């Protein structure tokens, strides 16, 4: 088997409501290598949030699809995404995770660069031509493409990719709804959750937009939740899954947990009730009742192809992940919050976040366990060949706990991985 195998990666037959995914997509080394070239080198990938670099001179180093990126705010306040490698002999220029700096010096031969990547000086300048510093090849190279939407910054290593806004397409509207929680802007809260799962990265894509697993995988979380909500069920009421095109997808649904913007639960007491009411009224004044209700009371698990999840649930989390091997991924996750949030709301937001989310929470570790056991199950993939993600196929409006979202992801994945007509694939779901 290899990435160009005639064996289909998907088996799709809408008439019979069949949608199957070959398990070798999760284990095959050639598929893993092909994904680097056909997906991660050709998509827009999340780099970071503008709020992480509030002041000129602020910088962050981050790894995106295996590349070392230096993300800076230059003296003029403009954000820059640079390839973190010295134009001279290749050493990684900045070796710190984050900070504030007037310039960056490569420690190998001492070349110094400003935050926009321009060469400012190098020892032994007299041995170089006079115009050396004005040559663009003397500067740290910018990432081929860098754009942002509503403070979400993305890079692409494909110089010919469509604009970020065009790429985001229908997903933009959901980012707008999420950013509509406040008119004061949003910031990433200090503290990065950096973890890993011994499973294929696509399992986390599926899991992040899977409304079907919650009741069983997270049974123990819901036991605890019922203590803080007094078994209140007013926040539930179902929801829907949407294929946003381009591999992006979203679930939008009601749920019993408290939302810091803005769904109160008894566990938050009377002071919380007043604050949540204030936030809700503000949303109504700003957006009108219908949109305010959507922002305040609906939850959204938004997936932006191929590896960004923005979950607007009991807290707001931004999560991105990268494959390191067919059976190992690394994950970075952050909490996002409105800038004008009160001390009370910020505290309860973070408290809510930790109860469910992250590698020390009451839910994420069980997700990781499930993903790792899928990966174990795929050791049988030569005999037991297929995953089934057909739930809700053929419905006019699939529910949030159907599997339309996963079909949207896999359809785009297949399109990028196998652009030519592939024999044996009967169809690819629309």
Q: From CA 218, how far away is CA 207, in angstroms rounded?
A: 12
Interface pattern 92-131 for another protein (x via CB under 8 A): -----xx---------------------------------
Q: Which is nearer to another protein, 232 or 284 (CB)?
A: 232
Q: Which is nearer to another protein, 137 or 343 (CB)?
A: 343
State which of residues 75, 219, 274, 384 lies at the interface with another protein (CB under 8 A): 219
Do you find a cis peptide bond into 262, omega within 30 degrees of 0? yes
- Other beta carbons within 10 angstroms of residue 177's beta carbon come to 19
Q: Is residue 422 within 8 Å of residue 4, measured between CB atoms?
A: no
- Which residues between 150 and 169 bind another protein (CB under 8 A)? none
State which of residues 137, 190, 270, 421 lies at the interface with another protein (CB under 8 A): 190
- Exposed, middle or buried, 12 (CB in 10 Å: 0-12/13-18/19+)? buried
Q: Which among 36-44, 173-181, 330-338, 392-400 is the span making contact with another protein, rule CB under 8 A?
A: 330-338
Interface pattern 392-411 for another protein (x via CB under 8 A): --------------------
Which neighbouring-strand residues pair with 48? 153
Query: Does residue 362 touch another protein according to CB under 8 A?
Result: yes
Q: Which is nearer to another protein, 138 or 342 (CB)?
A: 342
State which of residues 251, 310, 370, 417 lies at the interface with another protein (CB under 8 A): 370
Q: How far apart are the first and last CA of the chain?
A: 27
Q: From CA 275, how far away is CA 282, in angstroms rounded?
A: 11
Q: Which is nearer to another protein, 86 or 225 (CB)?
A: 225
Q: From CA 92, how far away is CA 112, in angstroms rounded?
A: 12
State which of residues 141, 166, 227, 236 lies at the interface with another protein (CB under 8 A): 227
Give me the least distance between CB of 75 and another protein, in Å please. Answer: 25
- Which residues between 342 and 361 bind another protein (CB under 8 A)? 343, 346-347, 350-351, 353-355, 358-360
Query: Does residue 334 touch another protein according to CB under 8 A?
Result: yes
State which of residues 33, 158, 165, 369 lies at the interface with another protein (CB under 8 A): 369
Give me the least distance between CB of 231 and another protein, in Å please. Answer: 16
List contacts with another protein (CB under 8 A). Answer: 97-98, 189-198, 217, 219-221, 223-224, 227, 328, 330, 334-335, 343, 346-347, 350-351, 353-355, 358-360, 362, 364-366, 368-370, 372, 376
């Amino acid at each position: 088997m290899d990435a160009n195998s005639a064996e289909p990666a998907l088996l799709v037959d809408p008439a019979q409501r069949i949608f199957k995914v070959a398990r070798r997509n999760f284990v095959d080394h050639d598929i893993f290598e092909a994904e680097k070239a056909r997906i991660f080198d050709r998509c827009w990938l999340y780099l970071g949030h503008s709020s992480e670099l509030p002041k000129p001179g602020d910088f962050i180093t981050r790894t995106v699809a295996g590349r070392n990126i230096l993300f800076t705010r230059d003296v003029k306040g403009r954000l820059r995404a640079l390839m973190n490698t010295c134009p001279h002999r290749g050493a990684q220029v900045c070796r710190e995770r984050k900070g504030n700096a007037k310039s960056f010096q490569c420690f190998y031969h001492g070349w110094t660069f400003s935050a926009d990547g321009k060469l400012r000086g190098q020892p032994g300048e007299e041995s170089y031509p006079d115009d050396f510093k004005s040559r663009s090849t003397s500067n740290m190279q910018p990432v081929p493409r860098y754009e942002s939407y509503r403070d979400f910054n993305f890079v692409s290593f494909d110089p010919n990719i469509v604009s970020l806004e065009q790429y985001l397409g229908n997903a933009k509207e959901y980012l707008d709804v999420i950013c509509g929680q406040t008119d004061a802007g949003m910031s990433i809260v200090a503290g990065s959750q950096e973890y890993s799962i011994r499973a294929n990265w696509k399992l986390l894509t599926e899991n992040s937009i899977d409304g079907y697993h919650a009741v069983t995988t997270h049974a123990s979380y819901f036991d605890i939740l019922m203590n803080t909500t007094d078994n209140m069920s007013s926040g539930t009421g179902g929801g829907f899954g949407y294929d946003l095109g381009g591999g992006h997808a979203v679930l939008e649904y009601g749920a019993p947990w408290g939302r810091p913007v803005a769904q109160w639960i008894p566990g938050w007491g009377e002071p919380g009730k007043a604050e949540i009411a204030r936030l809700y009224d503000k949303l109504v004044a700003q957006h009108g009742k219908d949109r305010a209700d959507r922002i305040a009371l609906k939850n959204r698990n938004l997936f932006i192809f191929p590896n960004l999840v923005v979950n607007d649930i009991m807290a707001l989390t931004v999560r991105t992940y990268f494959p390191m091997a067919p059976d190992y991924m690394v994950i970075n996750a952050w909490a996002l919050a409105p800038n004008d949030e009160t001390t009370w709301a910020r505290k309860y937001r973070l408290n809510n976040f930790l109860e469910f989310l992250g590698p020390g929470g009451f839910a994420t570790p069980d997700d990781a366990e499930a993903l790792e056991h899928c990966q174990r199950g795929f050791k049988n993939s030569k005999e037991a060949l297929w995953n089934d993600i057909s739930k809700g196929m053929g419905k006019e409006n699939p529910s949030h706990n159907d599997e339309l979202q996963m079909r949207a992801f896999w359809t785009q994945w297949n399109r990028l991985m196998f652009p030519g007509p592939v024999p044996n694939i009967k169809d690819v779901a629309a």
